Structures are given as C-alpha cells and as structure tokens.
Structure 1
Amino acid sequence: MFQYIKKQLQAMKLTHLNTYKEQKKISEYSASNLSQDLHKNLEDIKTIFGSSYDLTIREFDFGPQGNFKGALVFLTSMIDKTFLNESIIKPLMFDTRFIEKEERETFNINSIKTTMLSVDEVYTVATINEIIERCLTGYIGLLISGLNEALLIGTDGGETRSLDEPKTETVVRGPRLGFTENLLTNISLLRRYIRNSNLTFDTTIIGRETKTAVCIAYIKGIANPQLIDEIKRRLDRIDTDAILESGYIEQYIEDAPFSIFSTVGNNERPDAVAAKILEGRAALLINGTPFVLTVPLLFIESFASTEDYYSRPYFTGIVRMTRFLS
C-alpha cells in the first residue's frame, strides 16, 4: 500500500519536474533575441507553439531579383486570409520585383515597412517573445533572412459574431444592439454613443496564461480621478493564470466579497453602459465576453431597468418604487 503511494508521488514529482524543465526551455526560447539565421528563428517559434494546428509558416522569395528569403508567421484562426493575400503576400512577392535599379541598393526592411505594405499598423520588433505574443492577438510576423529584426503587421481577422440584441436584457423601447466578445467592437459601440474626445480607454493585460485585455472606459472631467486610480490599483493587484470572463474580474475588485448584494454592476447593452459612463462611472470591458462591468453600483440600481432611461422621470420613479415594495 505504502509502496504504491510512494511510487505515485515519485511519478507526480517527475511529471512536475519535466513540465518545469519544458516551460523553462520554452521561456528561454521566447526571451531570446532574433537571429540573422531565418531557419533558427522559425525553429524556435515552432518549438514554442509545439504542434498547434493553426500555426502557419509561409516561406517565400521576394525582392528586386528574388534574392531575399522571408517567412510569414501567423495563426490561421486569428487572421483574415483575404487581407493576407492582397495586402501582404502580393506586394511582397510581385510588387518588389519591379523596383527601379537605382532603388535596389537601398532596399531594406524600412523600405518594406514604409513603401511596400498597404496596411495601417506595422512596427519593428527584435525578440521572439514579441512575435509570439502579437501572433496570439491576430498579428502577422514577417521575418527576413540576414536580419535580426522582424515586422509585425496588424490585421483584424478571426471568427466573430454579428451585432445582435442581448438575450438577457430585451426591451420594448430602445436600441437593439448588444456587446459582443470582441473588445475593439465593444469600444466602437461606446464611441458611437459618446462622441467625446475625453472618452478614454485605458487597457491592461491580466492573466499569465490567457493574457486577457481589460479596458477601463471613462470620461475625463466627469469621472472621479480617485475612482479611476482605485480601479487601476485593484487590477494591478490581480495575480492569476487566467481571466476568461468578466466574473473573474468582478470577484477580484468588488468592495464586499461576502455581501449578498453585488457592488459591481454588469450589463450587455451599450446604451445602458454609455449612460452610466456619462453619469461619472467607469466601465470595464473584458476581451472575450459581452458582459461589461460598471462601478460603482448603487443599491437602487437593482430595481432599475434599461427602459427607465427612455421613460418620463415621474413614471419611472413610481415603477421603481413598486418594484422595491414588491
């Protein structure tokens, strides 16, 4: 009996040790600078991603005489293939062959960045880790043989759902739009309602494994600066592996974890969240969920409805009082 338990404990210890060594090896790869050897860089990236089904490495020749060797690194599930073909591969493989003779001597990575790529977001990086982290958010990495730098090209792709009416907060009167799981889409929905340059979105990354983007939305000059500072302090204090939904964040930042009443609001409607922001509150948008958190939450809001914003004040007051008494 004891021998069996001892063997199981030793096996568990060996498994944890091997996992630790593997993670340490991967972290060493990711922290290293890019090499001028294209093949080595690609092998390091393959080692980090392992046998990921959606990892794609597209090697090709380009340049005035086809004398440059390059590779595109991306996750197929995160990018728009039409964008990839028309805005990146086509300019690199075909347009670069028609460069004038006098320009060929000065053709380099900066030439590609400034004149070849018809995209709005391109910047230079020098480490494997930067490529890995950005590829996980939908970027495309361009590595070139003989250079210890790479280009990261922004693209908006991957599967997303259309804008639909929220299933949990249907209304008779009011907009028929709800938040989605895409952070940028949700930000754009709020900007449609609040066209004010003081509307600010401060973003941070939380979660060692998931690296989830969490965005604080508020209006400068209306929101209390102390409230915003306190939210940032509580978010910075979060130390966890994963953030998969707004409920994770809510439990970390709420005032009274053991209270039967919630101290953090959540909403799926852009119009309701915009109204709260205009009242001086702050909203927390989390990538991957349509539920947006709002703070602070008042007790009376438990008896409020989104339609209350579109009704006469005295009628709304009577309805809320009826809800409270019932």
Structure 2
Amino acid sequence: MNFFKKQRKNSIILSSIEQEDQNNKTNKGMLKTSLQENIQHIKQQLGNSGDIVNREIKIGKEGIIEACIFYTDGLVDTTSIQDFIMESIMLDISPNQEQMISSQQNVLQLLKDRILAVGDIRDVTEFSSLFTSLLSGDVILLLDGYTQGFTIGMRGGKDRGVMESTTESVIRGPKEGFTENLRTNTALIRRKIKTPRLWLESKKIGELTKTDVAIMYIDGIVNDKVVKEVHKRLNRIDIDGILESGYIEELIQDETYSPFPTIYYSERPDVIAAALLEGKVVILVDGTPIVLVVPALFISFIQSAEDYYQRADISTLIRMLRFFSIFIALLGPSLYIAITTYHQEMLPTPLLIGLAAQREGVPFPAFIEAVMMEGAFEILREAGLRMPKAIGQAISIVGTLVIGTAAVEAGIVSAAMVIVVAITAISSFVLPAFTLSMSIRMLRFLMMGLAASFGIFGLIVGFIALVLHMCSLRSFGVPYMSPLGPFIREDIKDTIIRVPIWRMFSRPRLISQKNNKREQNSAPKPPRNKM
C-alpha cells in the first residue's frame, strides 16, 4: 500500500512539473496571428486581473484593422495614452495613410514612423518580453493579422517626489535625496555629471519581480576589471525577487561573515556623483532610494558629504573627532571594565576611592553592569526607531533618564557605569554611516567579554586581531584599509585629514588606475591679494 501511495505522489509531482514547464513554454511562445487568440492568452496568463486594462480599437476612421491596447492601471500615464496613441491611430490618420493601411503595405513601419506620436517604441514578438514590459508600466499595442506588436514607453503613475535625505542630513550642501523611482535617481545623477562618458547599463534581476537594476560608471576613469566583476556577480544571482538594494548587497558582497560592510551605500546624489568621479561603480535598484557603491573602503564610512563643503581645517578637525569617537564607541565600556577589575593602579587615588564608594552597594561585577546597561540602551534605541515619530524620541530620552536614574538609586548599577554607557552611545551617533555604527555596536560586546576575561591584555589582543582582519578584507579586489594599509602616501590627503581642494589633484590610485589625475597639472596655491 505504501508503495502505491509513493508512486501516486511521484506521479502528481511529475505532472505538476510538466504543467509548470508547459506554462513556461507558453509564456515564452511567439505571438499568434489572430488578435483574439493573443487577447485571450494574455488574459488567461494574468488571471483576468482587474488592474490590467485592455481596449479593443480599430485603426483609421474607417476601422480598417483591428487592434488592442494593453496597459497596467496605476503604472502608466493614461492621459498620454489617449492623446498620443488612441487619438493618433483612430482620428489623426490622413487619407493617404489610410489608403496605405487598407492596402496592407508596411502597416507596422507606417505606424512606427509616421502615425504614433511617441518616442519610445520597441518591437515585441514573444509573450515573455510582452509580459515583462506590460507589468513594468509599458503600453502594449497588438494588431490583428500580425505576429508582431509594439511596446510603448509611457510609464507614469504616482511616486514620491524628490525630498531631503532623512538618514544623511547636512547643514551645508544639497538637500535633495534619491526616491524609489529608478529613472528619477538616474536623472539626479545626470544633473550632477553632464558628460557623455557617464555610461548606464541595465539589467533585470528576479525571476518573479523582474526588478530593474542599473549600473553607472564613468568610462575612462573606472577600472574595467571592477566593472566586469560587478557584471559577473550580478549575472550569477538566481533568486525569485529583489525588493530592495539590501538583497543585491548581500548577494554580491565579498565577505559574508565579517562584521564590517564591504559595500557602501548612500541616498544622496552628490555623494554618488563624488564616488563616480573617483572611479567607482554605483548600482541603482528600482523601488529603493538606497544606491550601492563599489569598491568600498573603510575610510569611506568615516567621510561625510559636508566634509567637502566646509574649509579643510574644519573638516580635518571633525574627521579626527570621528576617529576618536570610534575608539570610544568600541572600547569605552571595555576599558572601564578592564581598569576597575584588573588594573586599579592606573587610576588616581581620589578617583579610585570615589568609584569604590559608588560600587560598594552594587551586587554585580562591572561586566554584568555594562551588559545590562548596554542591553537596555539598545532596546530603548530600537524602540525609539520603530515607534511613531511623534513619540519615538520622547520615549527613548525619557526611558533612558528614568531607567538610568532608577537603576543607580536602586543600587543595581553605579553612576560611573551610566556615564560611560551614555558617552559610548553618543559617540556611536557621530559616525556618518549607519552600517559602520552597527558593526561597532556588535564588536563592543566582544571587547567587553575580552576585557572581563583578560583585562587590558585581552583588549590589546582583540584590537590587533580586529586590525588584522580589516587588513585582510577586500572590496571587489581593492584592499579594504587602503590607503592606510597598504600605505599610499599620495592618497593620505583625504583620509584622517583633508587637504584643501586645490591640493586634491589625483584620484585614489588603487580605485582609478586608468585616469588617476583630476587635473592635468597640479594646481598651485591660490595667490593672495596684495594691497
């Protein structure tokens, strides 16, 4: 009995596979000569969906040839369909053109060259490309008696306008940010860089979503090997759907199990334009304002767009402050744990006595204190992000104050630990890149464990291992820690310090190997006006 059940189950599976293969063959089939057969097949494959609109019309005032227009409601500009398609082929045909149509001579070419008053017209002969174009927002025009139709680009519908970036705010600089519309995003980049060498290549990724993905780079500046590697990694993606650029990032990144991000992203057009001018490749995904940049260096996550809009001395000071904040965010609680647990002799006597008096009634060691406070703060921070904006900030601030004060008064933690955790949290907010901030937050707990186990020596070993790991990373063939490791002297001008613009006459050497010079001749220092 079990044998027959198993055989029946296998036959059902085989029949379902055969049915799926048959459907795939049907979808990839050629258009039929009969217009009604094409209409019925399209409706059947789309399940008679209510948002797929089809309008059967007749070409010419005399209605010589039957035709049908398909489009997806909400993805097209319906006014343009009426003005530039239906009116053109139904009313605006001259007697000479109607005579040529009635004689069935070059009807398709006549429609494309002289009747349809639209710019983006492409031929379609297969159902697979027809469905992709139809569900992407194009208009489909089919004629009776022809195995060829037209896809007409009239994408429209409602989308979010260009607004200020919410994750990368600046005081001085452009306020515009990317949107969820791919063409709007490419236009924002074109507005910044007006050169014909800015090339764009498009792909569709996702078996079901058919998501539009665009690759942009500047020919003559970009490293051709990086472009080939990007295409190679994108072409090997085999997945049913891409809903956000995070899918692409995780599928093409160099290191999966490294806490450090090897792909940079931004939603500011000026940041992406600057990356293109350095010779990098950007990847845009339809449906998200987040644009990916490769290759990504560690120093890129420390830099901010506003660094190049302020004076060089101010930008250098701010960058040094960011690097100092990284060390505080990573090692702040760990140093406190190591010193108070193993190395009390490193503290001044008055401070040591004060800390001992605070910890007199605390029942937990410093490591447990730090884990409790850091965990509570992470919960409050996540709650503040997920709650409505009107009350999210109030909840996070009030919750932190109430919990910290109550914990100190209850004798669960010491006041010094609350101060250390607060300074550490504030330092993590200084970093411009949220992904690097997340990495520091994860590594902080590892460092706390090493400090609790081995003291300062454990911190030193952990920090050395962390630096060695970062030096071993690569992003699309480029060393992650360059130009610091390997050390490149001419590229140090835009790392921890930023020299004046007139001294930044060369691009990063390991990124742009084809055209390294921003200027043919290094610009001298601007002369001073003499009275």
TM-score, structure 2 as length reference: 0.57
Deviation of residue 143 (structure 1)?
A: 0.9
Task: Give the Cα separation in 2 of the matches to 1:325 and 1:51.
Answer: 61
Residue 157 of structure 1: aligned partner: 156
Q: Does 1:58 align with 2:92?
A: no
**What amino acid is aligned across from residue 139 of structure 1 in structure 2?**
D
Shift of the alpha carbon at 1:51? 3.0
State the match for 1:268 in structure 2.
Answer: 267
Gap change, CA 1:14 and 1:306, over 3 Å in 2: farther
Contact 2:58 2:64 in 1 (8 A): yes
Residue aligning to 1:252:
251
Question: Is the 2:180–2:287 contact (alpha carbons within 8 Å) kept by the matching residues of 1?
Answer: yes
Letter in 2 for 1:33: M
Between structures 1 and 2, the one with greater strand share: 1
Instruction: Map residues 76-155 of structure 1 onto 2, 5 A cutoff.
Output: 76-96=73-93, 98-99=95-96, 103=100, 104-105=102-103, 106=105, 108-155=107-154
Matching residue of 1:67: 64
Which of 24, 28, 36 in structure 1 is aligned with 2:21? 24
Separation in 1, partners of 2:121, 2:278: 38
Q: What are structure 1's unaligned runs of at least 5 residues?
A: none
CA distance in 2, matches of 1:218, 1:23: 39
Using a 3 Å threshold, how does the CA distance of structure 1 residues 14 and 289 change in structure 2: closer, same or farther? farther
| Equivalent residue letter for 2:193 | I
Identity percentage over the alignment? Answer: 37
CA distance in 1 between partners of 2:245 and 2:99 (Å): 56
The farther-off stretch of 268-277 and 227-236 is: 227-236
Give the AA of the match of 1:321.
Answer: M
CA-atom RMSD in angstroms: 2.3
Separation in 2 of the partners of 1:101 and 1:19?
A: 49
Distance in 2 (CA, whole Å) between partners of 1:180 and 1:20 is 40
What's the offset of the Cα at 1:184?
Answer: 1.1
Output the CA distance in 2 between the equivalents of 1:288 and 1:201: 18
1:260–1:32 Cα change, 3 Å: same
**Residue pair 1:178, 1:268 contacting (<8 A) in 2 also:** yes
Task: Give the superposition deviation at 1:62.
Answer: 2.1
Are 1:214 and 2:221 counterparts? Answer: no
Residue pairs, 1:276-295, within 5 angstroms: 276-295=275-294
* Deviation for aligned residue 1:47: 1.3
1:115-166 residue CA offsets vs partner (Å, 9 max, x unmatched): 1110001122222222111111111111111111111111121221111011
Larger CA deviation: 25-34 vs 230-239: 25-34
Give the corresponding residue for 2:425: none
Q: Give the match's secondary structure for 1:77.
A: coil
Does the CA-based 8 Å contact 1:64-1:98 persist in structure 2?
A: no
C-alpha deviation, 1:19, in angstroms: 5.8
Give, in whole Å, the separation in 2 of the partners of 1:17 and 1:307: 61
Q: Deviations over 1:20-56 (max 9, x none)?
A: 4553343232122111111101111111111322111
Counterpart amino acid of residue 227 in structure 1:
V
TM-score by length of 1: 0.91
The CA deviation at 1:263 is: 0.7
The letter for the 1-side match of 2:27 is S
CA contact (8 A) 1:31 1:129 kept: yes
Contact 2:60 2:98 (8 Å CA) reproduced: no
Judge conservation of contact 2:243–2:287 (CA < 8 Å) in 1: yes
- Which sections of structure 2, spanning at least 5 residues, go unmatched? 326-531
Aligned-pair distance for 1:242?
1.0
Partners of 1:163 and 1:98 lie apart in 2 by 46
Q: Distance in 2 between matches of 1:130 and 1:14?
A: 32
Alignment length, in residue pairs? 321
Q: Deviations over 1:158-186 (max 9, x none)?
A: 22111101111111111111111111111
- Deviation string 1:196-239 (CA, Å, 9 cap, x unpaired) is 11111112221111111211111111111111111111111211
Q: Is the 8 A contact 1:26 1:47 kept in 2?
A: no
Higher helix proportion, which one? 2
1:324 equivalent in structure 2: 323
Distance 1:228 1:117 in 2: 38
| Residue type at the aligned position of 2:36 | H
Query: 1:40 aligned to 2:37?
Result: yes
User: What secondary structure sits across from 1:239 in the alignment?
Assistant: coil
Greater mean alpha carbon deviation, residues 73-82 or residues 13-22: 13-22
- Alpha carbons 2:264, 2:301 under 8 Å: kept: no
Distance 2:99 2:263 in 1: 63
